[in-house]
Amino acid sequence: MDPVNISEFETLARERMSRQAFDYVAGGADDEITLAKNRAAFERITLHPRVLVDVSTVDTSTEVLGQRISFPVLVAPTAFQTLAHPDGELATARATSAAGTIMIVSTLASFRLEDIAAAAPGPKWFQLYCCKERAATQQLVERAETSGYDAICLTVDVSRLGRRERDLRNQFTLPPEVVPRNFEDAANLSAFPQTERRSLLTAYVADLLNDSLTWDDVAWIRSITKLPVVLKGILTCEDARLAADMGVEAIVISNHGGRQLDGVPAGVDVLPEIAAAVGDRVEVLVDGGIRRGTDVVKALALGARGVLLGRPYVWGLAADGQAGVTKVLQMLHDEVELALALCGCPSVEAVSAGLVGRR
C-alpha cells in the first residue's frame, strides 16, 4: 500500500513497529483526553475561503526566527527515533534538510547531537531538557552552539514525566540498542538485564530531569548562550507574557502531544488568546494534532507563525526510513499549498483571521 495521507502512514507504521514501540509513540497520558482533544479541536474549526483570487502561483514559504523555510511546518523534537528505524534522527535530519525546513533535535535523541548536525546541512534547533546539574545543562547548550544549532528550544512542561498507561501495560522498555547518546554514561544502560533496565531508565530520566526549574533558570540559559531561546510547552496567557517579558524569542504552545498533564486544552484552542496576549513580542508556534494541510492553515489563521509536526514523521520513519519522512513532509507541503489555493491565499502572509470560524 502506498499511503495517500498521514493517517495511512500511521496504519503502515503500526504494522512495521513492535506493539511496545508503536504504543510509546502513539500514546498519551492517563485517559488520553487531551490526546483526543488535539484532533477534535481541529475538526471543530471551519474554513471560510475567499474565491476569485488568482492562485496560479502559491508561495508556501515563511520565516521563523529570521530563517526562511519552505513551508510553515517544523519537525518537532521526539525522543529515541531509532525505536522507529535504525537510521533514526540521522534519517530525519536528511529528510528535513531536503524538505527545506527546521528539525528540532531532542535532548533524548538516540544519536549524538553532533552526529545529527553533521548528517545534513539544514537548519536545526536543539531541544533542551534541563539536567539537575547546571554544569551538565551548560555542556549540552555549548555542544549545540559549537555544532551549529540555530536555537535552544527549552521544554518547560516536563517537570515530571506524564503517566503513560500504554507503556505501563506493555511494560515498555528501551531495546538495548536504543540509548540516549547525548549522555556519556548512557551506554552503561545497555549492560543491564531487561527488567532492571526498565526501572533503571525511569529512574535515569527522573534523575536527569530538573523538577525545580523556574523562570530564573530561563534567565540563566539566556545568559549562557548567544542563540535565540524558544520555550516549548506554554498553555496560558500569563506564562506567555512572562516569556515575552523575559525576552525569549519564541514560544511553542503545546501540550506535548497529550503526553504530559491530561485534561489541558488543545494548543490550537488557546492559540488566539495567547497570540493576542503577546502580540508581536515573541514568535508564536503551536503543535499537537496537526495531520492535514488544512490544519496548518487553520493554525496560521488563528495567529501562529508556524506549527510543529510530531508523530506523523515518526510514522514515516517507521514505514520507510528517510524516504518515509520525505514522503510525509512532501505530502503535508502539497496539502498546505492546495489548502492555501482553495482558501484564496496566494501566500502564507495572505492568511487572515477571517478565514476561520466555528460553525
Ligand X SMILES: Cc1cc2nc3c(=O)[nH]c(=O)nc-3n(C[C@H](O)[C@H](O)[C@H](O)COP(=O)(O)O)c2cc1C
Residues marked as catalytic:
256
Residues near ligand X (CB under 6 A): 25, 38, 76-79, 106, 108, 127, 155, 232, 254, 256-257, 259, 287-290, 308-311
By C-beta, is 42 or 200 nearer to ligand X? 42
Distance, CA of 112 to chain centre: 18
Nearest to residue 291, comparing CAs of 273, 305, 307? 307
Minimum Å gap between C-beta 92 and ligand X is: 12
By C-beta, is 328 or 348 nearer to ligand X? 328
DSSP conformation class of 266:
P
C-alpha cell read off for 234? 506554554
Nearest to residue 253, comparing CAs of 265, 243, 267? 267
Minimum Å gap between C-beta 241 and ligand X is: 21
Beta-carbon neighbour count of residue 256 at 10 Å? 24
Minimum Å gap between C-beta 233 and ligand X is: 7
**CA atoms of 255 and 82, how far apart (whole Å):** 24
By C-beta, is 289 or 316 nearer to ligand X? 289
Contacts of 65 (CB under 8 A, 6+ apart): 150, 151, 228, 230, 249, 250, 283
**CA atoms of 152 and 144, how far apart (whole Å):** 8
Alpha-helical segments (H) within 104-177: 113-119, 134-146, 165-169
Minimum Å gap between C-beta 321 and ligand X is: 17
Using CB positions, name the residue nearest to ligand X.
310
By C-beta, is 92 or 106 nearer to ligand X? 106
**CA atoms of 249 and 231, how far apart (whole Å):** 8
Minimum Å gap between C-beta 94 and ligand X is: 19
**CA atoms of 326 and 347, how far apart (whole Å):** 23
Strand 46-47 and strand 356-357: the pairing is antiparallel
Minimum Å gap between C-beta 218 and ligand X is: 15
By C-beta, is 10 or 320 nearer to ligand X? 10
By C-beta, is 59 or 167 nearer to ligand X? 167
Beta-carbon neighbour count of residue 9 at 10 Å? 27
Nearest to residue 326, comparing CAs of 148, 120, 147? 120
